[in-house]
């Protein structure tokens, strides 16, 4: 938060004063210079908040950088091409949604930062748009252009060929090493601030490809750019490898339990002789629940199948499976500055490797609650329990002692011998159906720790296969930790050898 700011007219008469201010200890004072033209462009407003001194100061840091800066886009720029589907027509693409079997998975901008996104919608192949233009091409940079500005991602094997929204700008580069270099620049605090603000610092709400020509980046030597790029490439290769291991683990689970595609269970839900979504429930099976979604037939169909093909069907609450299932209570949060508390993030960022929009929770105010309920540890399974129900992930090592909000249930495995297998089952389509059947609430959907404890859980007949699934999941999780460390190394290089290089 800006506690104080000084706006100076940028001319020779004030150069000496500006120099003296720059040499003074800044502490909590945040300042920048503002030219007369900036004031005129801002409708002659003189308040510091209009100019967002942090954005203005970020540009000055790049201007004063050791390395001469170059425009990001243009004849002398690093970018070869920047576009989004339909951008020349200046009109939104017409989308026709359909069921999975009639279309292709469609991804929205918020999913591009997920380690392994899965489609929530399906777009019809008959939609009035060029599907190939929507598909992502490998080794390109992605940039959100509206809504949340400044999210950036890298198209590696996982995202290649996937159909993404036209709200994402696709960027290719003249030199291969500039992809990871610019990705890291935009992930850095200074670079991201420049991306999200205009020339005089105001936060922008929309980016067009042409706006990238206004952004200048340090023209560091090729060897530095290659060092940064190589770490980013390796980081995303590890994420791809992690996803492949999880695919193998899920395939083993499906094979061992002889599970048919989830669509076959879905077709058994309703009476074949009518188009009405109706089904009968015995009084003895009500379990005190009168909401139809709890008794949807896909759930008993999956459970019946598990009993036929598993050695045993227990529950997640079985002490052989989990030591504890924690749903933290609600509380009023007290935030502090970075470095003064625990990293804090929410369920929306559950699928991200390095959660965006991190905050910092006060240890002084929440120390006991953090220790007893909130802090994360490696290989804990996390399940979102309100709003969007049933997002599941496995806590990676770099989230150790970080804090996620109370809208996420923590399932603490009984041991590392079951942790990976527990995650693979719950994160599967079949696990998702068993989780979401407990959903209740008329406005905001909810589940709680008691519901999670009741989720049916299969023990495989072939324990060696179960162990193999578990090992694959834990290996995948460790690869994500390595991927995170490589990205952090790239960010350190960007800050130390480029942006703040002396």
Q: Write the pLDDT tens digit of every residue in 132-146.
A: 888 999 999 999 988
Distance from C-alpha of 157 to C-alpha of 241, rounded to nearest angstrom: 9
* Other Cβ atoms within 10 Å of 478 Cβ, number: 17
- Cβ proximity of 2 and 53 under 8 Å: yes
More confident residue, 16 or 326: 326
Residue 443 is given by DSSP the state S
44, 205, 320, 474 from 416: Cα distances, Å: 62, 45, 11, 8
- Judged against a pLDDT cut of 50, whether residue 21 lies above it is answered with no
pLDDT for the residue numbered 296: 81
Choose among 106, 190, 186: nearest CA to 154: 186
Is residue 397 pLDDT above 90, yes or no?
yes
Q: What is the pLDDT of residue 273?
A: 47
CA distance 338 to 360: 6
Mean pLDDT of the chain: 87
pLDDT > 90 fraction of the chain, expressed in percent and rounded: 61
What radius of gyration do the chain's Cα atoms show? 26
Q: What single string gives the DSSP state of each residue in 128-155?
A: SS-HHHHBPPSS-EEEE-BSSTT-EEE-
pTM: 0.87
pLDDT on residue 281: 77
Yes or no: say if 470 and 335 are a contact pair by the CB < 8 Å rule: no
The share of the chain scoring above pLDDT 70, in percent, equals 86
Any residues with CB less than 8 A from the CB of 238 and at least 6 apart, and which? 479, 480, 482, 483, 486
What pLDDT does 274 receive?
Answer: 43
Instruction: Inform me whether the pLDDT recorded for 271 exceeds 80.
Output: no
The answer, yes or no, to whether residue 31 has pLDDT greater than 70, is: no
Is residue 185 over pLDDT 70?
yes
Higher-pLDDT residue of 288 and 247 is 247
In angstroms, the CA 183 to CA 373 distance is 36
pLDDT by residue (tens digit) across 154-170? 999 999 999 998 889 99
pLDDT (average), residues 199-224? 82
Residue 479 CA: distances (Å) to CA of 98, 251, 489: 36, 19, 15
> pLDDT for 102-125, tens place per residue?
888 999 998 999 999 999 889 887
What pLDDT is recorded for position 52? Answer: 67
pLDDT at 51: 66
State which H helix or E strand residue 423 sits in: helix 416-427
Closest-CA residue to 48 (of 58, 59, 56, 36)? 56
């Amino acid at each position: 938060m800006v506690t104080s700011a000084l706006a100076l007219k940028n001319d020779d008469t004030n150069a000496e004063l500006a120099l003296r201010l720059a040499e003074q200890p800044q502490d909590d004072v945040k300042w920048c210079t503002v030219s007369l033209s900036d004031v005129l462009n801002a409708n002659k407003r003189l308040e510091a908040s209009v100019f967002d001194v942090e954005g203005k100061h970020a540009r000055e840091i790049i201007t004063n950088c050791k390395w001469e800066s170059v425009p990001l886009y243009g004849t002398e720029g690093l970018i070869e091409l920047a576009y989004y589907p339909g951008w020349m027509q200046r009109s939104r693409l017409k989308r026709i949604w359909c069921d999975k079997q009639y279309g292709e998975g469609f991804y929205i901008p918020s999913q591009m930062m997920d380690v392994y996104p899965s489609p929530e919608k399906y777009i019809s192949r008959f939609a009035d748009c060029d599907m190939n233009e929507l598909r992502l091409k490998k080794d390109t940079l992605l940039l959100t252009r509206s809504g949340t500005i400044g999210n950036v991602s890298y198209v590696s094997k996982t995202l290649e060929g996937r159909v993404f929204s036209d709200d994402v700008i696709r960027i290719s580069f003249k030199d291969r090493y500039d992809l990871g270099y610019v990705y890291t620049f935009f992930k850095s605090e200074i670079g991201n601030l420049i991306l999200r603000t205009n020339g005089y610092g105001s936060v922008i709400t929309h980016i067009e490809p042409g706006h990238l020509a206004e952004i200048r980046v340090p023209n560091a030597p090729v060897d530095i750019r290659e060092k940064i790029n190589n770490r980013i490439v390796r980081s995303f290769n590890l994420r791809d490898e992690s996803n492949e291991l999880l695919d193998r683990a899920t395939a083993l689970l499906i094979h061992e339990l002889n599970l048919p595609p989830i669509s076959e269970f879905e077709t058994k839900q309703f009476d074949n002789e009518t188009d009405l979504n109706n089904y009968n429930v015995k009084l003895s099976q009500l379990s005190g629940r009168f909401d139809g979604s709890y008794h949807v037939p896909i759930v008993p169909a999956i459970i019946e199948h598990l009993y036929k093909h598993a050695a045993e069907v227990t529950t997640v609450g079985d002490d052989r499976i989990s030591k504890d299932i924690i749903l933290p209570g609600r509380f009023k949060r007290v935030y502090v500055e970075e470095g003064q508390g625990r990293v804090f993030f929410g369920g929306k960022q559950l699928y991200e490797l390095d959660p965006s929009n991190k905050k910092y929770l006060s240890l002084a105010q929440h120390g006991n609650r953090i220790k007893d309920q909130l802090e994360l540890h490696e290989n804990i399974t996390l399940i979102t329990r309100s709003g969007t129900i049933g997002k599941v992930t496995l806590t990676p090592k770099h989230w150790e002692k970080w804090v996620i909000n109370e809208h996420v249930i923590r399932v603490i495995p009984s041991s590392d011998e079951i942790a990976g297998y527990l995650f693979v089952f719950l994160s599967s389509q079949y696990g998702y159906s068993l989780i979401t059947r407990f959903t209740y609430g008329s406005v905001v959907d909810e589940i709680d720790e008691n519901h999670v404890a009741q989720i049916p859980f299969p023990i495989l007949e072939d324990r060696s296969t179960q162990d193999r699934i578990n090992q694959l999941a834990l290996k995948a999780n460790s690869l994500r930790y390595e991927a995170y460390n490589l990205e952090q190394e790239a960010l350190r290089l960007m800050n130390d050898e480029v942006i703040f290089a002396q």
